[in-house]
Amino acid sequence: MRLALREARAAEATGDVPIGAVVIGSGGEVLAVGRNEREALGDPTAHAEVQAIRAAAGVLARDGAGDGWRLADCTLVVTLEPCAMCAGAIVLARIPRVVFGAWDEKAGAAGSVFDILRERRLNHWVEVYPGVLEDECGSLLRAFFAQHR
C-alpha cells in the first residue's frame, strides 16, 4: 500500500486525483504500478487500477506467462475502493484479490455503493480486503479535494 500511496502522490503533479495502484505477482513481486492520469492523458478510462492492470498484462505477455490478459495469480492494491469501471476491469482480468485503502461512499463498487467484485451472477469473484492504511489514503484524498474546492 505504501507503493500505491507513492503513486497517488505522483498523480497530484499532473492535477489528477491522487489514487495509486500496484499489481503484485504470485511470488510477491511488483509487476506494475499505476496512478490516475485522466487529466494528464485526457482519457476518462485512465484510472490508477486500469493503468496498473494494462501495464501488468503487458509484462506478463512479454514474459510469456500465459496469455497476458489473465492476471489470475495477482493481487491489486489500490488506495481507494474501485469504481464500477475499474471493478469491471478487475473481474475481466480475473484478478483474485483486491486490497484497498479508503472507502468511496459515492462511487465505490467493492461494497460501498455496488459490490461488483463479489457479484455472484458474474463469472469471477474477488476476495476484497478493505481499509488498509485507510486513514492515510483518505486524508490524501480529503486534502486534495479541499484544495480544489
CA distances in angstroms from 33 to 3, 5, 57, 123, listed in the order given: 8, 11, 11, 26
Please report, in angstroms and rounded to a whole number, the separation of the first and last CA atoms in the chain.
Answer: 27
Q: Tell whether 124 is in a known binding site.
A: no
Q: What is the dihedral of CA 73, 71, 24, 19, to 10 degrees?
A: -140
Q: Tell whether 47 is in a known binding site.
A: yes
Residues recognised as catalytic:
49
Beginning with the edge strand found earlier in the chain, give each strand of the sheet holding 20-24 in spatial order: 30-35, 20-24, 75-80, 97-102, 127-129
99 contact partners, CB below 8 Å, separation of at least 6 = 1, 75, 76, 77, 78, 129, 132
**In whole angstroms, what is the distance from residue 62 CA to residue 67 CA?**
10
Binding-site residue numbers are 47, 83, 86
Binding-site residue numbers for Zn(2+) are 47, 83, 86
